[in-house]
Structure 1
Amino acid sequence: MAAFMILFAEQRERHAIRRERVFRNRTQVLDTMQDNELIMRYRFPRHIIFQLIDKVTDEMQPTTYRCHSIPTQIQVLTCLRFLAKGDYLSEIADIHGISKSSSCLVVHRVVNAICNQLKNINFQTGTGEVRKVKSDFHKISGFPNVVGAIDGTHIPIQGMSSDDEHTYVCRKGFHSINVQGVVNSDLRFTNAVCKFPGSTHDSFILQSSCLPDVVSNLQDGGWLLGDSGYPLKEWLMTPIGHPRAGQEERYNLAHCRTRNVVERAFGVLKARFRCLHKTGGSLPYNPQKCAKMIECAIRLHNLAIDNRVPLTEPVEADAGNNHIIAPTVNNIAAAAIRDRLVQRF
């Protein structure tokens, strides 16, 4: 009986019809679309997309010698489309002529390659660079000695079932990653921390980053501007809680106008890459992959700022985390610096 079953299985295997491979039509959008259409759909014009392809090609080369691997161009376009629109992967896969499973692999592969090859998030420490940053910030509202504006924002992610799931639930009641960003007056990110769960306080993220050491050791000094969610430091100026009429009110007004660039930067970032915005749903991956996607989007945002790529989407001002009050810590030296600064207003 056993011999009969083995013989029957061998005969059925010989006569099994192998499923024919399907090669989908992959439309070459870079050959058919104008730059304005590419910016609407992929956030970059043709020449910058080609630059990205050139940067990641070596890292994206397939290890297979089969002739039907997905071209690097299709992989980059698939990733940019997902970041830009936050669409379902099945829809993006159909647009680019690949399967849904392939599109999922492609997005993460390109995200990692861009993060590895596009090194454009750098906090300026050179004397000449710092002076220019201070000058640009001073032009906004007359606030002196500013080297960056800092804030945090929540990026929605999908819920998970791990033991630390509760740490990702932010004060607004959804799962998120709390992203810290420092920007210049031109909305360009010079520092970003994308790894902390949504329940983490802004001040904790700041103290865990490299910023305290970097800013406090600048050769000519300088201040970050933060909201009330951050503690007052010798290198971090915050608004006055209950300002008196006159100089203190004018100080708070100048502080608010100057620091507002970081809220606008987050608003532009989320408008440019809708996968980070609440209207795009939430990032449907584990927190580590979500953090990598956020970092990739910030690097691409800086690339767009450097190349003056226009933004075709409406921008909503990002509220940030500015209604969280930092724990009160009496820093006499920092308070004295702020008191002297108030006298300038």
Structure 2
Amino acid sequence: MLIGDTRGPTQASISRIFTRITNIMSTKAAEEINMPSTPQQLSTSAQAFSSVTNFPPVIEAIDGTHVAIKAPSIDEAMYCDSGYPLEPFLMTPVTNPTNEAEELYYRALVRTRVIVELTLGVVKNCFRCIHRFGGELQYTPLRSAKIVSVCLLLHNRCVSRSIPDPNNHLPEEDMPIEAHVVGAGDRGGTGRQTRDEIIPEFYGRKGV
């Protein structure tokens, strides 16, 4: 007891505590962080997005961000970013818009997606362990993923309790939308068909 009081807990003890807390909180994050599913949740989410983005009914904005981790010794190629595919339920930008309707669609998509981009920026600014200025996480990909989920859970707690994010913001680290949000493909062509229907219907009129 005397040694513990004067020297503090050992590295092994801290590691065990950290692992236990991370596992508990990441399980909680998996329970709480999810897509809206009930009719009420879907309606509320769509109305919230519509009020700020002028994009056809949206329930979620999806994005990714780079978190530096210790390179895994096997299957390292599995952790590369391949982008998002164009799907009937997942819209991606039009590469090099060729007319006004496509340009309006593109701008509306940017306004929609910037919501999640800003959120990720706030999270990484608050939790420096997942920001590039904090170095890289010296853990396995699975443990690193749990740490990221805990950061997101704590962010949601801060939002629900109106706790402001830190004022000492670090520089932005991610690439602009044009560079990293191009769809990876369109299985069966149904995604492109949906997008081709949305563009003239919602953005074919001037002033939209």
Stretches of 4+ aligned residues off by more than 4 angstroms = 315-318
Query: How do 1:115-130 and structure 2 match up within 5 A?
Result: 115-117=26-28, 119-130=31-42
SS at match of 1:310: coil
Contact map agreement 2:86 2:183 (CA 8 A) in 1: no
Contact map agreement 1:267 1:315 (CA 8 A) in 2: no
In the alignment, structure 1 segments of 5+ residues that lack a partner are 1-19, 26-93, 168-196, 202-228
Residue in structure 2 matching 1:341, options 191, 198, 205: 198
Asked if residue 291 in structure 1 is aligned to residue 202 in structure 2, the reply is: no
Distance in 2 (CA, whole Å) between partners of 1:258 and 1:231 is 17
Distance in 1 (CA, whole Å) between partners of 2:22 and 2:36 is 25
| Structure with larger Rg | 1
Asked if residue 198 in structure 1 is aligned to residue 79 in structure 2, the reply is: yes
Structure 1 residue 141 displacement after superposition = 2.4
Bigger relative contact order (CA 8 A; separation at least 6): 2
Distance in 2 (CA, whole Å) between partners of 1:23 and 1:241 is 61
Distance in 1 (CA, whole Å) between partners of 2:79 and 2:108 is 30
Structure 1 residue 251 displacement after superposition = 0.9
Residue in structure 2 matching 1:303, options 135, 157, 160: 157
Distance in 2 (CA, whole Å) between partners of 1:242 and 1:117 is 42
- Larger % of strand: which? 1
Query: How do 1:109-258 and structure 2 match up within 5 A?
Result: 109-117=20-28, 119-160=31-72, 162-164=73-75, 166-167=76-77, 197-201=78-82, 229-258=83-112
Q: Are residues 107 and 277 of structure 1, via their aligned partners in 2, closer, same or farther at CA, if it must alter by over 3 Å? A: same
Structure 1 residue 109 displacement after superposition = 1.3
Q: Are residues 157 and 321 of structure 1, via their aligned partners in 2, closer, same or farther at CA, if it must alter by over 3 Å? A: farther
* TM-score, normalised with respect to structure 2: 0.83
Instruction: State the partner residue of 1:24.
Output: 5
Q: Are residues 326 and 337 of structure 1, via their aligned partners in 2, closer, same or farther at CA, if it must alter by over 3 Å? A: closer
- Larger % of helix: which? 2
Q: Deviations over 1:147-194 (max 9, x none)?
A: 11112222111235x333x43xxxxxxxxxxxxxxxxxxxxxxxxxxx
Distance in 2 (CA, whole Å) between partners of 1:259 and 1:250 is 14
Structure 1 residue 139 displacement after superposition = 1.3
Instruction: State the partner residue of 2:13.
Output: 102
SS at match of 2:65: strand
* TM-score, normalised with respect to structure 1: 0.52
Q: Are residues 243 and 281 of structure 1, via their aligned partners in 2, closer, same or farther at CA, if it must alter by over 3 Å? A: same
Structure 1 residue 318 displacement after superposition = 5.3
Structure 1 residue 317 displacement after superposition = 4.5
Q: Deviations over 1:226-266 (max 9, x none)?
A: xxx32221111111112123111111001111111121121
Contact map agreement 1:234 1:333 (CA 8 A) in 2: yes
Q: For 2:129, give the aligned amino acid.
A: C
Query: How much is the aligned-residue C-alpha RMSD, in angstroms?
Result: 2.5
Q: Are residues 263 and 103 of structure 1, via their aligned partners in 2, closer, same or farther at CA, if it must alter by over 3 Å? A: same
Q: Deviations over 1:111-140 (max 9, x none)?
A: 112223453112111111111111111111
Asked if residue 261 in structure 1 is aligned to residue 115 in structure 2, the reply is: yes
Contact map agreement 1:133 1:146 (CA 8 A) in 2: yes
Structure 1 residue 330 displacement after superposition = 6.6
Instruction: State the partner residue of 2:206.
Output: none
Q: Are residues 318 and 142 of structure 1, via their aligned partners in 2, closer, same or farther at CA, if it must alter by over 3 Å? A: farther
Q: For 2:33, give the aligned amino acid.
A: I
Q: For 2:113, give the aligned amino acid.
A: R
Percent same amino acid at aligned positions?
29
Q: Are residues 320 and 142 of structure 1, via their aligned partners in 2, closer, same or farther at CA, if it must alter by over 3 Å? A: same
Distance in 1 (CA, whole Å) between partners of 2:155 and 2:175 is 18
Instruction: State the partner residue of 2:174.
Output: 319
In the alignment, structure 2 segments of 5+ residues that lack a partner are 204-208
Instruction: State the partner residue of 1:51.
Output: none
